[in-house]
Amino acid sequence: MTAHLTAPARTLLKEIFGYSEFRGQQAEIITHVVNGGHCLVLMPTGGGKSLCYQLPALLRNGVGIVISPLIALMENQVAVLRERGVRAAYLNSALVPEAAEAVEQKMLAGEYDLVYVAPERLLTARFHALLQRIAISLFAIDEAHCVSQWGHDFRPEYGRLSVLPQQFPQVPRIALTASADARTRADILRCLDLHQARTFISSFDRPNLCYRITARSNGRMQLLNFIRNQHPGEAGIVYCQSRRKVEETAAWLNTNQIPALAYHAGMEAPVRTRHQKKFLQQTGWVMVATSAFGLGIDKPDVRFVAHLDLPKSIESYYQETGRAGRDGLPANAWMVYGPGDIIRLRSQIESATEQRSILVRQAATTRLDALLALCETTMCRRRSLLDYFGEPPASSDESACGNCDACLATVPVQDVTIAAQKALSCAYRTGQCFGTEYLIDILTGKQTDRIRQWGHDRISTFGIGCELSSEGWRIVFRHLLALGYLIAGEDRAGGERIALQLTPAARNLLRGEIRVKLRLSSRHHAPPHRQAHPDLSAPDRCEIR
Ligand code: ADP
Ligand code: ZN
């Protein structure tokens, strides 16, 4: 930063925002924008993106226009800015027409430094005419990934922001996002015509977070043990997918002497606010919530974020886990998941994207696969996450972070190709009509009425899987689902809710062309006396044409 710029920027940083230092690339970005440059800023949530446009807006002539998709967030930002003495306002559909008009008048009179607007308003003829008449210091496009159909939060209004470079080419455009894979990034550059602009990418690494992802056996009990053993009396967030599960889990934790609060969008607003306040202001509360909780939450000493269900994407996972350990002290990101999650998320994609383009569906499926790959990997979780965000390793020795379950693992990785082949054979030989539990009963040789009724005690895969416990087999099946060797089809003759079916890729695995490795501990193996067929190492091959 040039000396001439450093002085006023530093003064404002201290006097208005109360910080003594710029963080990461803030100084560089601010200098670039103050000098009239366009840019794309990729910075993780909590990295300090807002300052990158707020400070330049104060230093440049005219009003800074911030495009933001979330009404609650823009109101909150404006309130904080006003408290700091910044002349800020917002324009969105929550304002009555008179109030909106008053804001517009003041804009004309040059009485604002920053105005936050919803994208749909920016595109109206009326607002457009207003913008033509005033001095604009910059356009900040927050949550810029919303321009992309490939992104996880596509908003059609954002796609029309291409009017900005066309109509106001000279006004600096600063696009900001916390998550953008290569394809989304390309869409942002195209839509906002930022090809010539600089891109600032901050590290997405959160070294103080320890990532752990495990198979769900009894989710609640696993959670309780985790909190009791690792976080007694500490603040944490537990994410669940449904409102009902949020309430049940919070109640259950309370009966187990873990002080817990519930939070979801279906609750009355005053209750929600009360719970949020308690969590933020007091110590030691566990907040059990849906993904509705967390936007704009900036509590430094959240010691853990737990997921009882898989979130919908790596972006959500990263954002939600990112709420832990903001103070830089050690914190845990803990998650359990099972085949049910995979089935739920796949069917959500099917139903949510039925009406939409193939691209949207393809994008959603790709994102889910990436999330499952993160769960199923036997490699470093942190490296997998950073790979997803396109962040290259800092040095050649970056494959192990030393602070995730994979890097800390004491459980060795095992080749389970034969077990995987047995599982696939079993699904195939029973007509691909059955779900995981039934197939496990066959593999482990259980003489249930149902198995006898179907005559499945007489097929060649009956009882050939005695080397693994039922839980061990669950892991194998989950892995096969996650890696796409099996898919969960609809009900068929078996009358099951889900019927596991083989995909074309399964053939390569059955032929032994692909090997499968998993982390299995001793408890996933059956005790020796149960291993009725110790010599049965040869897989039961099945021929699929
Ligand atoms: P983002 O939009 O990237 O999620 P914010 O702009 O909301 O992040 O900033 C996250 C937190 O970091 C806020 O509490 C903010 O006040 C704080 N912050 C930002 N810049 C600095 C800085 N230079 N020094 C100290 N704290 C900062
Ligand atoms: Zn690691």
> pLDDT tens digit string along 231-258?
999 999 999 999 999 999 999 999 999 9
Ligand 1 nearest-atom number relative to CA 43: 3
Residue 225 contacts residue 259 (beta carbons within 8 Å): no
Mutate to test the pocket of ligand 1, among 17, 141, 320 (most ligand atoms within 8 A of CB): 17
Both tokens assigned to 62: 């005219």
Kindly identify the ligand whose nearest atom is closest to the C-alpha of 30: 1
**∠ CA 115-121-122 to the nearest 5 degrees?**
65
Residue 47 contacts residue 23 (beta carbons within 8 Å): yes
| C-alpha torsion 87→88→91→93, nearest 10 | -120
Class of domain 413-524: mainly alpha
Mutate to test the pocket of ligand 1, among 50, 141, 200, 301 (most ligand atoms within 8 A of CB): 50
**DSSP H or E run through 16:** none
Give the helix, strand, coil percentages of the chain, each rounded to 5.
45, 15, 40
Residues β-bridged to residue 313: none
Q: How far is the CA of 491 from the centre of ligand 2 (A)?
A: 40
Q: For the chain, which ranges sit under pLDDT 50?
A: 1-3, 532-545
Rounded to whole angstroms, how far apart are CA atoms 171 and 114? 14
Where in the chain are all domains bearing CATH 1.10.10.10? 413-524
Where in the chain are all domains bearing CATH 3.40.50.300? 3-201, 209-346
**Which is nearest to 134 in space by CA: 203, 207, 61, 190?**
61
**Which is nearest to 377 in space by CA: 516, 487, 504?**
516
Both tokens assigned to 477: 């099946």
| pLDDT recorded at residue 526 | 81
Q: Is the pTM of this model over 0.75?
A: no
| pLDDT recorded at residue 167 | 93
CATH topology of domain 3-201: Rossmann fold (3.40.50)
| pLDDT recorded at residue 539 | 40
Query: Residues lining ligand 1, judged by CB closer than 6 Å?
Result: 19, 21-23, 26, 43, 45-51, 298
| pLDDT recorded at residue 355 | 59
Mutate to test the pocket of ligand 1, among 23, 26, 28, 67 (most ligand atoms within 8 A of CB): 23
Q: How far is the CA of 447 from the centre of ligand 2 (A)?
A: 43
Q: 461-506 pLDDT, tens per residue?
A: 999 999 999 988 988 888 888 778 888 776 555 555 678 899 998 9
**Which is nearest to 342 in space by CA: 470, 435, 469, 405?**
435
Q: How many angstroms from the chain centroid is the CA of residue 196?
A: 30
CATH topology of domain 209-346: Rossmann fold (3.40.50)
